[in-house]
Amino acid sequence: MIDFQTSPDRYRHWKVSFEGRVATLAMDVDEAGGLSRDYELKLNSYDLAVDIELYDAVQRLRFEHPEVSAVILTSAKERVFCAGANIKMLTVADYGLTVNFCKFTNETRNAIEDASANSGQHYIAAINGSCAAGGYELALATDYIVMVDDGNTSVSLPELPLLAVLPGTGGLTRLVDKRRVRSDRADFFCTTEEGIRGKRAVEWRLVDAVVPRPRLFEMAMSKAAEFCRQSPRPAQARGLMLRQLGRRSETDRLLYRNLTVEFDRGRGVAHIIVHGPQTPISVGSSALEGIDDSFWPLALARELDDAILHLRFNEDRVGTWVFHTQGERRLVEQYDQLLLDNQDNWLVREIIHYLKRMFKRLEVSARSLFALIEPGACFTGTLLELALAADRAYMLDGIREGREEEPARVGLTGMNFGALPKCNGLARLENRFLADPDHVKMIRQQLGHDIDAKRAAELGLVGFIPDEIDWDDEVRLALEARAAFSSDALSGLEASLRFAGPETLETKIFGRLSAWQNWIFQRPNAVGENGALKLYGTGKRPAFDTRRV
Amino acid sequence: MIDFQTSPDRYRHWKVSFEGRVATLAMDVDEAGGLSRDYELKLNSYDLAVDIELYDAVQRLRFEHPEVSAVILTSAKERVFCAGANIKMLTVADYGLTVNFCKFTNETRNAIEDASANSGQHYIAAINGSCAAGGYELALATDYIVMVDDGNTSVSLPELPLLAVLPGTGGLTRLVDKRRVRSDRADFFCTTEEGIRGKRAVEWRLVDAVVPRPRLFEMAMSKAAEFCRQSPRPAQARGLMLRQLGRRSETDRLLYRNLTVEFDRGRGVAHIIVHGPQTPISVGSSALEGIDDSFWPLALARELDDAILHLRFNEDRVGTWVFHTQGERRLVEQYDQLLLDNQDNWLVREIIHYLKRMFKRLEVSARSLFALIEPGACFTGTLLELALAADRAYMLDGIREGREEEPARVGLTGMNFGALPKCNGLARLENRFLADPDHVKMIRQQLGHDIDAKRAAELGLVGFIPDEIDWDDEVRLALEARAAFSSDALSGLEASLRFAGPETLETKIFGRLSAWQNWIFQRPNAVGENGALKLYGTGKRPAFDTRRV
């Protein structure tokens, strides 16, 4: 089982240090610390184990270190910054693991960009040696790239010439869309194994500056100081510690404090039951005093984040995730209101952004998403986003016989109107009603209302409202039908339907670049017996099928 | 060899008729008229042969029928509008043909939308029977869909449940991005074999109206009349006949009037030599009087269009297209000026839009594009777009020894600043200098200048400027290196780098949807021995690998 939980005291691959408001994340990969014994992580190459730690560090910098306004990303090795994803790992990993590894590393790079865009925590890459492939893609995720100007240090994306695959961890998209490198130069750069160094790298916009080796950290620190001066991060606040999640694994269940995952593996379904808040909260900002990582919205974000990753990597035959909620809608409203009222508080902002990132991770997961809204549920505000993110939402119209709960209601809070945007930058309601923006305004007028099934269907918040008589059959048939479809076709369908409207760097990476990369990772030219990826390091030359399709 | 040239007198699958300003394109597929004897085109299903005729008809409606302002797309069969792409064809066609067939059909649907957006020639789908899969995708390309309201007539996208592939001819993108169908409804619709009919289809935005069968054409004509009233198409103008291209095929050459393609198949290269205009033209609008299809810009657009399609389908091992030009730059400028000065003329507008579509087709081709700018070349204005579209442009700095031509120059005309936008809506220069929009303004000041190699490189119009001594080696090595790379990885790289910046329906279709579809068409769940596509019609149930990746 791949576990995504870690903490700094367990890191094997990264050194984190602090100097005032500047943190340094130094990559120092332990060759023997990969997920598998099949390869050694030489030259600061990485596998998922390395990236799990990076993701953890990036999260903790936001929550545990409110004072940190600039992060210098560099290497603790001599003469090598990072050689990218370990190639042996790519050749031995199973296809699903490769695809999901790429997706997760992309998400971690997006998290770096999210810290910079929304938290004033800016990243600087200080490139102190060869920076190739995924290593340069990591640098591309930062705000500022400074590189040593010597004969040994270059940036490169040699995936295509060396391995017959793409720089698929966002590299191509970041090159032309984020750094706006001219496409003809990008073409040359991506087809040139040895990469580009020195002034030409600056002129081509591949890096922001080059400096003599002895001045690298001085330059990085000077840029960091500049970022710190502009940053809204609170220099004096106390961080919030993210403790290990209390997760328990049973054969057919995964239990968190606010979340239970129940597996129905025979049907390819995981039921994800989200528990609403257990205790009321006072409305004033005093409610925020002394909160810790058990604070419901934060704990929920962390637990769902972990569950999504667990399901992606460890339960690949579970193709459908079915969301349920249980709890008091009023309490969800209270927590939402507390968050919305205190957005000037750095920690509240961080929690909202974390919820946002968790929902984004949900929607780029290659799984069918269902929501079942039954009596006793609390799909309101933040939790309503689960239903809005779902490919299908069913709401039971009326009561369930023999049960005492009132008919289900859903409700809206301010969290549904822009605080938790999708990868394409739109609120889920905006995305849903692209055809009729006025309808979103109309829905806004329902804030605070108790919305029953018929009204929810009229408003377009849910798709299907069977009553007690039809509910069990209709839901069962829908889930069985889903399980009977081709898993690949569903992944392509869902990725195509979930993001209408505007495009962003993120949708381009997950929609376009990843699709091409997934395709290429299937092609014999890369992964066949005589493919470049398979033969890498053997000294044999690949034999390509030259046909263009 | 697949030939893309045809004409109405040779159509086997479409009936074209005219009534005033309204044309009717009635699909009436000849079951025995497919490209291959391996399948019969039952139920108005189509293969490339059918779509080649449709493309031809769409082109001719724009040039030959200036009065036509509305086109009704319907079926001449009883009870079936169109069953979509022929499934047997998809199972027997080789992978490359399938992918290129999908691309071409997408382009034809884009051409329909281009007629509506830019020519005031609006399409109406009159659905008079079952409209499934590619049939509905065709309807989605029109501006208005009216459907018979009876128990037999529905729209559907059953690709996923029936065949384990996607509605990949733009269907998914058009559903949520063009028609802005709610994504949860789109999900239901695309996973429901039988489709949706009647009022629900209207409510879900899948069609614009439903009517009783006897009123279908009355309704379509009434909508057509409405379009005609608003259209700027000239009711009284005389059309321009598009005659058969004078194309001659030799073993290693393909010869058109304004174009020669020379094959160097051993190196995987096609040299495409474009000849500039041969005769001067007067500047006034009188120059347009009596022009025919030999008018240079139009003839060039048609010949390049045909050559691109020929190369895509019939020369799939030729991975690199190298553009050369020969001629007088002054003459190219004159023609460009004539076009730019007469944009109030319907025919001139059509020619410019055709050039635009041809360049778009070039850029979505899965081939490496090079431009070689040597003495004697005329890369100016419209022809400079070839160099700007290229993944790499080389310009020889200075003279070639032993030749009398002056050093090469390039030049800009008004055509380079927005008349020929890329699929993403940007002029090629805007796309090239995304990082610095002011640079485009600066380049605009060079209008009419003779720009030599050094200056062209400074301005960023070309990437490489070897001199006489280095030219042959540098170009040869670049072409050899290209041929040695993986064809698939190049396709993915080029598709990712060519379209930075904004996204449109077209870039989403070619970038995202097609990439997913190409992937799925490789997966065993669709095309393996027990895949859904392979087993379709056998009565056997597919066996799917349920793993999600």
| Residue A372 main-chain phi, psi, to 5 deg | -115, 115
- The pair of three-digit structure tokens given for residue A29, joined into one six-digit string: 């990969």
**How high is the mean pLDDT of chain A?**
96
Distance CA A492, CA B173 (A): 12
Neighbours of B547 (CB within 10 A): 16
Q: Closest Cα to residue A140, out of A100, A173, A186? A: A173
Q: Which of A191, A463, A545 sits opposite B487 (nearest CB)?
A: A545
pTM: 0.96
Contact flag B391-A482 (C-beta cutoff 8 Å): no
Distance, CA of A384 to CA of B211 (rounded, Å): 38
Q: Is the pLDDT of residue B285 over 80?
A: no
Residue of A nearest to B99 (CA): A549
pLDDT one-digit tens code per residue, B97-115: 999 999 999 999 999 999 9
B392, B435, B493: residue with CB nearest A205:
B435
List, as one string, the DSSP characters of B132-180.
ETHHHHHHHTSSEEEEE-STT--EE--HHHHHSS--TTTHHHIIIIIS-
pLDDT exceeds cutoff 90 at A549: no
Tokens describing residue B191: 């996973």
**pLDDT number for residue B404:** 86
Helix axes B296-314, B95-119, angle to 10 degrees: 160
CB contact under 8 A, B546 and A483: yes
Q: Which two tokens stand for residue B212?
A: 């009783």
Whether the CB-CB separation of A146 and A169 falls below 8 Å is answered with no
Question: How far is the alpha carbon of B291 from chain A, nearest alpha carbon, in Å?
Answer: 37
The answer, yes or no, to whether residue A166 has pLDDT greater than 80, is yes
- A392 SS3 class: strand
Question: Which residues touch A293 (CB under 8 Å, ≥6 apart)?
Answer: A240, A241, A242, A243, A299, A302
Q: Would you give the end-to-end CA distance of chain A in angstroms?
A: 38
Nearest alpha-carbon partner for B112 in B103, B121, B104, B100: B121
CA distance B385 to B408: 16
Give B486's contacts in chain A (Cβ within 8 Å): 160, 164, 520, 523, 525-526, 532, 542, 544
Position A540 scores a pLDDT of 94
A365 has a pLDDT exceeding 80: yes
Q: For the segment A254-293, what is each residue's pLDDT rounded down to a tens digit?
A: 999 999 999 999 999 999 999 999 999 876 768 888 899 9
Strand partners, A274: A259, A325
Q: If contacts are CB pairs under 8 Å, which of residues 489-518 in chain A contact chain B?
A: 489-498, 500-503, 508, 511-513, 515-518
- Rounded CA separation B334/A270 (Å): 67
- Per-residue pLDDT averaged across A82-94, rounded? 93
Confidence of residue B512 (pLDDT cuts 50, 70, 90): confident
Q: What is the mean pLDDT of residues B524-530?
A: 92
B191 vs A contacts (CB less than 8 Å): 481-482, 485, 493
Residue A161 has pLDDT above 70, yes or no: yes
Write the pLDDT tens digit of every residue in A451-469: 999 999 999 999 999 999 9
> Residue A289 has what pLDDT?
87
Q: Which residues pair with B46 in a beta bridge?
A: B85
Inter-chain contact A181–B435, Cβ cutoff 8 Å? yes
Judging contacts by C-beta atoms under 8 Å, the chain A residues touching residue B511 are 508, 511-512
Contact B547, A96 (CB under 8 A): yes
CA contacts within 13 A on the Cβ side of A207: 30
pLDDT for the residue numbered B269: 98
Please tell me the distance from the alpha carbon of residue B336 to that of residue B283, in angstroms, as a whole number: 10
What is the C-alpha separation between A386 and A431, in angstroms, rounded?
A: 14
Residue B282 has pLDDT above 80, yes or no: no
Instruction: Give the one of A173, A503, A516 whose C-beta lies nearest to B515's C-beta.
Output: A516
Q: What is the reported pLDDT for B43?
A: 97
Q: What pLDDT, on a 0 to 100 scale, did the predictor assign at position A3?
A: 97
Best to test chain B binding among A140, A181, A183, A426 (most B CBs inside 10 Å): A183
Residues in a beta bridge with A323: A272, A371
Q: Find the mean pLDDT for residues B519-530.
A: 92
Which amino acid, residue A271? H
Q: At what angle do helices A95-119 and A48-63 cross, to 10 degrees?
A: 20
Contacts with A134 (C-beta within 8 Å, 6 or more apart), sequence order: A45, A46, A82, A84, A85, A105, A167, A169, A171
CB A86, CB A37: distance < 8 Å: no
Q: Give dist(CA A67, CA A77) in Å, integer.
A: 27
Average pLDDT over residues A69-79: 96
Is a pLDDT exceeding 80 seen at residue B283?
no
Indicate the SS3 state at residue A23: strand
Lowest mean pLDDT among A46-55, A72-81, B518-527: B518-527
Give residue B526's pLDDT. 93
Rounded Cα distance, A167 and A145, in Å: 18
| pLDDT tens, position by position, B357-387 | 999 999 999 999 999 999 999 999 999 999 9
The answer to whether residue B477 neighbours chain A at the CB level (below 8 Å) is no
Instruction: Please check whether residue A249 touches B, CB under 8 A.
Output: no
Of A206, A193, A182, nearest in space to A160 by CA: A193
Could you report the per-residue pLDDT of A390-421, keeping only the tens digit for each?
999 999 999 998 888 899 999 999 999 999 99
Predicted pLDDT at A116: 97
pLDDT confidence of residue A93: 87
Helix (H) or strand (E) holding B61, with range, is helix B48-64
A286 and chain B in contact, CB less than 8 A = no
**Cross-chain Cβ contact B173/A486 below 8 Å:** no
Binding-face residues of B in 98-137 toward A, CB within 8 A:
99-100
Rounded Cα distance between B425 and B412, Å, is 20
Closest CA to B515 of A170, A482, A509, A183: A509
| Predicted pLDDT of residue B71 | 98
- The whole-angstrom separation of Cα B181 and Cα B187 is 10
Name which of A225, A313, A214, A296 is nearest A258 in CA terms: A296
| CA–CA dist B523, A488 (Å, integer) | 7
Show the tokens assigned to A502: 């505007």
Q: Based on the number of CB atoms within 10 Å of its own CB, is A292 exposed (0-12), middle (13-18) or buried (19 or more)?
A: exposed
Q: Closest residue of B to A493, CA-based?
A: B166
A216 and A81 Cβ atoms separated by less than 8 Å: no
pLDDT of residue A283: 67
Closest Cα in chain A, distance from residue B167 (Å) = 8
Q: Which pLDDT does position B513 carry in this prediction?
A: 87
Q: Which residues of B touch A427 (CB under 8 A)?
A: none
Distance of CA A458 to the CA centre of its chain: 33
- Contacting residues of A for B532, CB less than 8 Å apart: 486
Split at pLDDT 50, 70, 90, the class of B511 is confident
- Local structure of A56: helix, strand or coil: helix
Q: Note the pLDDT tens digit of each residue in A311-344.
A: 999 999 999 999 999 999 999 999 999 999 999 9
Mind giving me the DSSP string for B426-457?
S-HHHHHTTT-HHHHHHHHTTTT--B-HHHHH
A504 is written with which tokens? 């962003």
Give the chain A residue whose CA is nearest to the CA of B533: A486
Quote the CA–CA distance of A69 and A49 in Å, as a whole number.
Answer: 26
Asked whether residue B60 carries a pLDDT value surpassing 90, the answer given is yes
Q: How far is Cα B40 from Cα B32, in angstroms, rounded to an integer?
A: 6
Question: Which one-letter amino acid corresponds to residue A152?
Answer: N
At B196, phi and psi to the nearest 5?
A: -135, 140
A183 contact B CB<8A: yes
How many CB pairs below 8 Å do chains A and B form together? Answer: 277
In this prediction, residue A492 has a pLDDT band, given cuts at 50, 70 and 90, of very high
Would you tell me how many other CB atoms lie within 10 Å of the CB of residue B251? 6
Mean pLDDT over A510-531 rounds to: 90
Q: What is the mean pLDDT of residues A475-502?
A: 95
Cβ–Cβ < 8 Å for A170, A106 = yes
Rg (CA), chain B: 24
The contacts of residue B20 (CB under 8 Å, 6+ apart) are B67, B228
| Mean pLDDT to the nearest integer, B531-542 | 92
Interchain contact, B166 vs A486, CB within 8 Å: no
Q: What is the mean pLDDT of residues A131-152?
A: 97
The set of residues, in sequence order, having a beta carbon less than 8 Å from that of B13 and lying 6+ positions away, is B27, B28, B29, B30, B33, B41, B46, B49, B50, B53, B54
pLDDT surpassing 90 at residue A373: yes
**CA pair distance A54, A47, nearest whole angstrom:** 11
